[in-house]
Amino acid sequence: MSDEPKFTDEQLEQARLLFAKPWDFRTSVTDMANLPEIGNTEIAFAGRSNVGKSSLINALTGRKGLARTSSTPGRTQMLNFFSADDAPLTIVDMPGYGYAQAPKELVEAWTNLVFAYLRGRPTLRRVFLLIDSRHGIKTIDEEAMSLLDKAAVIYQVVLTKSDKIKPPALTRLIDETLAKLAKRPASYPEVIATSSEKGKGLAELRAEIDQLVKN
């Protein structure tokens, strides 16, 4: 991959402005019947429980308490919708998968809701699939990728908590991740490394999202 920055300063600035809007929580849903009406371009954050989905949404919007964060895995078992007045984008925090104590019925309910949402949401432009930098892609993430491939929704891997590993290990992880993604039909062939805690990769991720809204 080239070292040229992917985005111009102007694009980064436009994206910063989008995320500087007054983002707010709209609604939580546990079934398809209650989805908000189709409208804005939508993007969603998915990933295993505790990977840092809510933290990333808070960091992107600069609003600490926007998406609930917790160190108790599996708290967010709903689709949570966020929007901002006059922003042409809706952000969805998806329920985390793969927490150890999940009973079988809950896993099934997760799969059904998530698959129905992925299949039935024409405005959903991309899913950002979060992977913990310390762990890389695990079997459970491969299962989520298969679901996304089956739903034919484009997904892009975002590495989280990159402050937790050293730069050479991160470079290796990015290469390994890209190699795994190459075999996946609906995957987007780029990876963004982020740290919600240190702010790393956030401007780039905002710009990636802003381009989806504009194109």
Rule CB under 6 A: which residues touch ligand GTP? 47, 49-55, 69-71, 73-76, 96, 160-161, 163-164, 195-197
> Cβ 73 to ligand GTP, closest distance in Å?
5
| Interior/surface letters 158-175, b for 16+ CB within 10 angstroms, e for the rest | bbbbbeebeeeebeebbe
- Residue 50: contacted member of ligand GTP, Mg ion, none (CB under 5 to 8 Å, by partner type): ligand GTP
When the beta carbons of 170 and 211 are compared against ligand GTP, the nearer one is 170
Residue 102 in contact with residue 74, Cβ under 8 Å?
Answer: yes
When the beta carbons of 15 and 56 are compared against ligand GTP, the nearer one is 56
Task: Tell me the C-alpha distance between 77 and 102, whole Å.
Answer: 11
Task: Tell me the C-alpha distance between 3 and 26, whole Å.
Answer: 38
> Cβ 110 to ligand GTP, closest distance in Å?
11
**Residues at the site binding Mg ion, with contacts judged by CB under 5 A:** 53-54, 76
Does residue 162 sit in helix, strand or coil? helix
Residue number of the CB atom closest to ligand GTP: 96
> Cβ 194 to ligand GTP, closest distance in Å?
7
When the beta carbons of 54 and 61 are compared against Mg ion, the nearer one is 54
- Residue 98: contacted member of Mg ion, ligand GTP, none (CB under 5 to 8 Å, by partner type): none
> Cβ 67 to Mg ion, closest distance in Å?
6
Q: Crossing angle, helix 53-61 and helix 202-214, to 10 degrees?
A: 80
When the beta carbons of 142 and 214 are compared against ligand GTP, the nearer one is 142
Task: Tell me the C-alpha distance between 160 and 194, whole Å.
Answer: 5
> Cβ 86 to Mg ion, closest distance in Å?
26
Residue 211 in contact with residue 190, Cβ under 8 Å?
Answer: no
Does residue 163 sit in helix, strand or coil? helix
